[in-house]
Amino acid sequence: MPEFLTEAESFFEYTQSLRRDFHTHPELGFQEVRTAGIVARELTALGLEIHPGIAGTGVTALIEGAKPGLVILVRADMDALPIVEETGAVYASQNPGVMHACGHDGHTAILLTVARMLHAHRNELPGTVKLMFQPAEEGMGGADKMIDAGVLENPKVDRCLGLHLWNEKPVGWFGISNGPLMAGAEIFKVRVIGKGGHGASPHFSADPVLAAAQIISALQGIVARNVAPLQTAVVSVCTIHAGETFNVIPPAVEMTGTIRTFEPEVRTRVLQRFDETVNLVAQAMGCRAEIDMQRLTPATVNHPGTAAVVQAAARRLFPDADVDPANYVTMGSEDFASVLDRVPGCFFFVGSANPEKGLDAGHHHPKFDFDEIVLPRAAALMSAAVFDVLSNQ
């Protein structure tokens, strides 16, 4: 096994300069032209054949090991956010109103460093590494668009890895969940259709306001009565619109809201009960319902076997580290979930905050910045994880 930590530390200036360059020149989702150009330049310099322009600005490349084995995909996201930077850093954004406030500048620099190290060790590598530099992670579906463009095929991907620098925890902490780690989200719109009429003569109408009230109350029974007490889900009705005046029963009510779940079985159960509850309560109240349910992102769920390999690699590389094997869970969502939904793998968090240096603002905050000493640590862990996952097959 190569000494990835020592090697990654010897590349510190390379990784840092890339990261700072990306940070100074942030680009929004699907506009990462400059960033993708630098990714392409660095991979080409290694002698890799690159595939640019995937789903707009995505870039892929293969590192083929000398030994046969599985194909493992390793992903970094490249996009920034529409935020006015307030860090005051020397490398602060020069693109007004756009900021790398989630650490994706670090992710891209880390994966380029990983590519450099794995390429140098390709003679020992038992399998193939597919590098995935994706656009538009921030709610714009960049991962899905790359999947639609065929990133998981030719060659077919067997395993996948991704990481996120995590400023809620200090450098030295690793969150490597054995299962679910980030929530899946659905958005719903419900229309309850009744029969309008005079407010003084309700018996001539079918009141959708009363039906909607019953539906909202009944929906809370799903989490309370259909989800096991040690599992989790959220059903939130967040808007409700009906009627124009005090003495008219309106013909319809519209409600919107969101559902959050982790386990696929819980999601299926909650969606089924949602459907039944809305339709049957509406029916019982003499109304009918139309439901428009859209999936925003699936839950991010790790493959336990792959997660165990990454946990072991973290403990080997960083004997003093706080490796959190518990199901470290956040309600945020992450579009790498779409890859993990199709390919067994592991998405892990690398603690990146340093409160003593004032580098602990949260993700998406105008003062967000992380301690750059995390860069080689993350690159080393990712490289070691790739080797271990391929070697363990």
Q: Would you name the residues annotated as active-site residues? A: 79, 137
Q: Say whether the peptide bond before residue 155 is cis (omega within 30 degrees of 0).
A: yes
144 versus 158: smaller Cβ distance to Ni ion: 144
Cβ atoms within 10 Å of 382's Cβ, excluding its own: 28
Cβ atoms within 10 Å of 253's Cβ, excluding its own: 26
| Residue nearest Ni ion (C-beta atom) | 102
CA dist., res. 167 & res. 33, Å (int): 27
32 versus 158: smaller Cβ distance to Ni ion: 32
78 versus 255: smaller Cβ distance to Ni ion: 78
For residue 102, the minimal CB distance to Ni ion (Å) is 4
- Which of 120, 142, 122 is closest to 132 using CA atoms? 142
For residue 74, the minimal CB distance to Ni ion (Å) is 16
277 versus 333: smaller Cβ distance to Ni ion: 333
**114: phi > 0 → left, psi -120 to 50 → alpha, else beta; which?**
alpha
**Radius of gyration over every alpha carbon of the chain, rounded to an integer in angstroms:** 24
Which residues here bind Ni ion, judged by CB under 5 A? Answer: 102
With beta carbons less than 8 A apart as the criterion, state whether 297 and 184 touch.
yes
For residue 107, the minimal CB distance to Ni ion (Å) is 8
For residue 264, the minimal CB distance to Ni ion (Å) is 23
Q: How far is CA 204 from the centre of its chain?
A: 50
102 versus 299: smaller Cβ distance to Ni ion: 102
Cβ atoms within 10 Å of 317's Cβ, excluding its own: 20
For residue 263, the minimal CB distance to Ni ion (Å) is 23
For residue 160, the minimal CB distance to Ni ion (Å) is 17
137 versus 324: smaller Cβ distance to Ni ion: 137
205 versus 352: smaller Cβ distance to Ni ion: 352
For residue 78, the minimal CB distance to Ni ion (Å) is 11
